[in-house]
Structure 1
Amino acid sequence: MATDRPGASDSGPTPPEGACRAHQIAGELRSRIDRGEYRLGQLLPTQRELGADFGVSSDTVQRAMRELQTEGWIESRQGSGSRVIRVRRIHTPKASAGQPVPIGLGPLISEAFEAEEVSLDAYCLTIDSLTDHVGVQADRVARGEVSPRSISLRLLLPSTEPKPAFPVAAGDPEGTRPYESWARDGGVPHGATA
């Protein structure tokens, strides 16, 4: 039944323009989380930064953030910002025009920790990024968001002989700093154990 009221239709009132834009922004933020631009446990940009990024008012950004919070994607705390607390399960990406689609390490590890039996096999020059991602998952386990029955991690690090290939820093033309740090820690950086 049609009405004569402005903004009304057979399916109910038309949402205000700001609400539609907020829903679009929430969708874009979900996509960015899915693509790994905002990782699990990471703070989102401030509302001011998001407003500038999308060219909208802070009220519109707040509506988008409330939508994401209601859906359980983020948690927001006054004065602390908004943190990603959920990522969608990833699926095999579809390449367009034969181009490979990059997948970040975060979504892969996040998905692995949703299983009952977590098993990770990793080959790394260093364990820095792996340590960060597994730490985020340990926080999820501590909060009760995921509860794997067992976790198994096999890590294959390169031998100290011959020297592994490290990129050379501009300020270190002979490239000795990465080797010194790596060798000092027995080939396992940041106090990890082999």
Structure 2
Amino acid sequence: MTLDEIRVEIDAVDTQMKPLFLKRMECAKQVAEAKAKTGGDVFVLERELSIIEKRAGDVDKEVYDEYVAFLRHLMSVSRRYQYGILTGMQDKVLSSAEKEAGIDEAASHSQVEIAFTCPKDTSDLNLYINMTKLNGVEIDAMSLETADGVQNIRIVLDGNLREEKMRRLLCQIGKEAENFHLVGIK
């Protein structure tokens, strides 16, 4: 097969994936609507690990890690979509974090500093960084220190706590990362 023929095949596969992706997002919307009524969490680690184990169990070793990364990213995108629908959850996460940090709701600012932790051996830091890109929020500064097998992360994000993209991002990180808190605003 020539390179051009392979690219045509890839285009055909991508075309077939699009309606499945759109169907998955419609299902994610329905899940978010149900969770809005029941108050359930969007991120349930045990369920996601079970799904990955079940779906990846028969995948060839040569592409196993890539398939798991694909599933994890797809699930993260799906959760991002759900957090965008669940504005009440956003309000709850952010008002709690603002109160804990002593942030004045009316204070003018253009940057938000957050902190959270990840276990080093199972770190999802790459997903959190990717979440910033998916939400259109830029990282201005970031620091990472590891102590006793725990990554301590601080990130300065460009934007305002009132912006929809920032609220969705912070809700997702706040619900999914360990020890999430707002450090302050600038």
TM over 0.5: no
TM-score of the superposed pair, with normalisation by structure 1: 0.27
Higher-helix-fraction structure: 2
Task: Flag the structure with more relative contact order, 1 or 2, with Cα contacts below 8 A and sequence separation at least 6.
Answer: 2
